[in-house]
Structure 1
């Protein structure tokens, strides 16, 4: 394991991808920054974090053991690793909002951005970006955001928290490499936000409708139970949960 500490960077994911081009990185190479100028979330959304108050880091992970059809298990393993770490801190009412937003008491406290590299039709490595709201007290115009400090009133060591999260991620990657897919999927689905609860969704083709989150498919699509007991599957860019 190698840890690279930076004061400011465009994004920790971009930094690791540039480093990989110039030479092979060792497994679990980590870059942590006090401030990301261009941090991103899913589908290019901006990740806005107050400098030095939050955890923003990326992990380089070799994933050549992962089949193309099981690549969403990388996302599940990481999300479970983060929630495992937060459970040890007794963060209340943790949930995962599909695909990999981390919630506590129904508010977003973290997000994960995974960028996979595919060579000759096979997965090669992943750059795993994690942003977690830690000691920030205010989120202007973001009513659905929160932080560990807001939730518990405590101040946390950023680096100690990162190491605890890394231990959780390594734990679930060991389960993943042992091909215990059922265990990972069942734990992930047990934490799914609004699973089996009536929820409102929006899609471009169907507009707004009501359904129930049933689970996820092996390739990471969201399974939604709709009228007439029909289960439909949706990819990341096809559906939005309204809550």
Structure 2
């Protein structure tokens, strides 16, 4: 399987670096990755800034060209990426690995990995994806109010960032295989979904509510039962609350 890894010491954002390479050099191939020792302006979901200590964590972007993936099915990509990251984390010894919708990876209900996917579309088809991933690997000091953790904190072990990067990237090169098996994709994602069929607290329009996650719709909206009525939420319309 093709795909090379580009190693950089420092960059503003690996996603932005990939965009520049696509625009000016047209030099990326399917399954290529750009890994940076440090990002000066890393981005997360909700336009948040990804905070990472230099050399302690893994920050990289992965380039993917889907095979006949419709825009209406784009959430399959989120599902495949989340499942493969979770599988990798389990392979190195982590337990209680879950996905907080839409694609935060949690260990013991604390965030260990964030994903930001930026898609390039043509009419109704998804042509290219830049998948930005940040993994807390060796960062030992985590702000108490961040609800985050690191691989090292969970396993009490130091990890070589380059080894973690190479192994995780090899997992991600199976994305198309998962997308080609939608029934398995949905089953595996629901098995990992944090809060499925559990009473949870959320924030909706600035108000705290209680609800039960029923699953996800075909286009990736979160299905939540609130006061006896099923409601559908897009990505920025609902926020998990943790004690």
Instruction: Work out the CA distance in 1 between the residues paired with 2:109 and 2:186.
Output: 21
Task: Report what 1:149 is aligned to.
Answer: 152
Contact in 1 for aligned 2:8/2:34 (Cα 8 Å): yes
Unpaired runs of 5+ residues, structure 1, are none
Task: Report what 2:92 is aligned to.
Answer: 89
Instruction: Work out the CA distance in 2 between the residues paired with 1:162 and 1:133.
Output: 12
The answer to whether structure 1 residue 168 and structure 2 residue 171 are counterparts is yes
- Aligned residue for 2:173, secondary structure, equals helix
- Map 1:117-132; keep pairs closer than 5 Å: 117-132=120-135
Task: Report what 1:236 is aligned to.
Answer: 235
The answer to whether structure 1 residue 201 and structure 2 residue 202 are counterparts is yes
Instruction: Work out the CA distance in 1 between the residues paired with 2:28 and 2:94.
Output: 33
- If the length of structure 1 is used for normalisation, what is the TM-score? 0.94
Instruction: Work out the CA distance in 1 between the residues paired with 2:8 and 2:169.
Output: 18
- If the length of structure 2 is used for normalisation, what is the TM-score? 0.94
Task: Report what 1:218 is aligned to.
Answer: 218
Task: Report what 2:182 is aligned to.
Answer: 181
Deviations 1:72-98 (A, max 9, x none): 111111111111111111112111111
Instruction: Work out the CA distance in 2 between the residues paired with 1:174 and 1:55.
Output: 25
After superposition, the Cα gap between the structure-2 partners of 1:67 and 1:24, relative to the gap in structure 1 and judged at 3 Å, is farther
Task: Quote how far apart the aligned CAs of 1:142 are.
Answer: 3.9
Contact in 1 for aligned 2:104/2:115 (Cα 8 Å): yes
- Aligned residue for 2:236, secondary structure, equals helix
Task: Quote how far apart the aligned CAs of 1:141 are.
Answer: 4.8
Contact in 2 for aligned 1:3/1:32 (Cα 8 Å): yes
Instruction: Work out the CA distance in 1 between the residues paired with 2:124 and 2:188.
Output: 29
Contact in 1 for aligned 2:10/2:36 (Cα 8 Å): yes
How many residue pairs match? The answer is 239
